[in-house]
Amino acid sequence: MLFEDAPDALLTKIEQVVRLIRSKGVGVYFCSQNPLDIPDKVLGQLGHRVQHALRAFTPRDQKAVKAAATTFRTNPDLDVETAITQLGVGEALVSFLDEKGTPGIVQRALIYPPQSQLPPLSDGERKAVIAQSLVAGHYEKEVDRESAFEMLKVRAEQQIQASQQEQQQAAEAKAESAGSNRMGFAESFGKSVVRAAGSQIGRSLIRGVMGSLFGGGGSRKKSIW
């Protein structure tokens, strides 16, 4: 139902999704009674393959057997197309990726029945199963690594502190600049007064200003200077 009459754009998108999921190390499984149900471009993205028996009574069935046989890596010691029709109960043709990600050659194998039970395991049974695991001893130690949230939080706080320091430095520089301008204006004004006092016009202006300040008459102002 997923692939029947599906347009090429949908098949391309499904192939892209399967490829992306596999690149993240996540397993993708398609289960079907007939290999022809899955398009070749999608089937080519599946690394692990388990093929149970197929019966070839009709031309369509024979086509399905041939299609299934061609999806496996060739085994010179096994006629895959014939073996598919001869598999018994619990048998399958299997091919899995090796440690380097290369598909292994197809092999005829017996499927190991599930070893499960309905009630929960006891503590002793659980410990025994964990001890027999291939990854036993690898995940018992808890590691509390610094999360991405924590790292981003520290980075944000550092940026805020840096911004505050820049604002403080800018305010201090502005205050120093304003003080320098006031001192420079006062110094310039004093120098101007001294220069003005040396000229006739300047002396007259200063006498007028001083006379206004002290309220004296013109003769007294003249006697002062």
CA distance 112 to 97: 19
pLDDT of 188: 67
How far apart CA 212 and CA 224 sit, in angstroms, is: 13
Confidence check: pLDDT of 207 > 70: no
Q: Is the pLDDT of residue 40 over 70?
A: yes
Percent of the chain whose predicted confidence (pLDDT) is above 90: 7
146-168 burial, b if ≥16 CB within 10 A, otherwise e?
eeeeeeeeeeeeeeeeeeeeeee
Residue 198 — very low, low, confident or very high, per pLDDT cuts 50/70/90?
low
Mean of the per-residue pLDDT values of the chain = 78
Average confidence (pLDDT) over 15-30: 80
> What was the pLDDT predicted at 204?
62
**For residues 139-158, average pLDDT:** 85
Other beta carbons less than 10 A from residue 39's beta carbon: 16
**Mean pLDDT, range 145-167, rounded to an integer:** 89
Query: Could you tell me which residues are beta bridge partners of residue 92?
Result: 109
Per mean pLDDT, which range of 1-10, 102-111, 113-122, 188-197 is the poorest? 188-197
0.75 exceeded by pTM: no
pLDDT for the residue numbered 158 = 92
Question: Which CA distances in Å does 109 have to 76, 166, 192?
Answer: 16, 71, 109
Nearest to 56 by CA among 75, 36, 73, 76: 36
Q: Which tens digits make up the pLDDT trace of 115-141?
A: 777 888 899 988 898 888 888 888 777
Contacts of 161 (CB under 8 A, 6+ apart): none
Q: Which whole number is the average pLDDT over 218-224? A: 46
pLDDT of 178:
65
The pair of three-digit structure tokens given for residue 110, joined into one six-digit string: 């017996």
Asked if residue 212 has pLDDT above 80, the reply is no
